[in-house]
Each structure stands twice: as C-alpha cells, then as structure tokens.
Amino acid sequence: MNGEPNGWNAYKLFVMEQLKGLTERSTRIENKLDRLNTKVTVLETKSLMYGAIAGFVIAAAVQIVAIVIKIS
C-alpha cells in the first residue's frame, strides 16, 4: 500500500474539483437570475407607467367629450 487506501486521495481531489466547478456554475446562474430579475422589474415598471398614462388619456378624453356634449 502506498498510503492511499483504495485511491481515496485521488478521488477526493476529483470530488473537490467537481464541487468547485458546480459552485462556480451556481454563482453564474445566480448572477444571470439577478440580471433577469432586474430586467423584469424594469419592464413591470414601464408597463405600469404606460398603463397609467393610457388610463389618464382615456379618462381625459371621456371628460372632454362629456363636457362638449353637455355644452351642446
């Protein structure tokens, strides 16, 4: 025996490298998810603003039509 029961030291190094690679991959995925979350939040905010503006424009148009009809 050469001090390595059943080749455990070599396997241990292999497992540690695999764990390191998985950790790096997990970190990259988390970073991508964070960027996607930011983009979704921006899109939600924009859609809310556009919806509010459209609602205001429609409400203003209805009020103007109502005033014009009332005056006539």
Higher pLDDT, 71 or 62: 62
Distances (CA, A) of 34 to 14, 57, 61, 66: 30, 35, 41, 48
Query: Which residue is listed with tokens 């409400």?
Result: 59
- pLDDT for 1-40, tens place per residue? 455 667 888 899 999 999 999 999 999 999 999 999 999 9
Domain ranges of the chain: 5-71
Which amino acid is it at 53?
I
d(CA 56, CA 50): 10
Q: Outline where DSSP puts E strands in the chain.
A: none
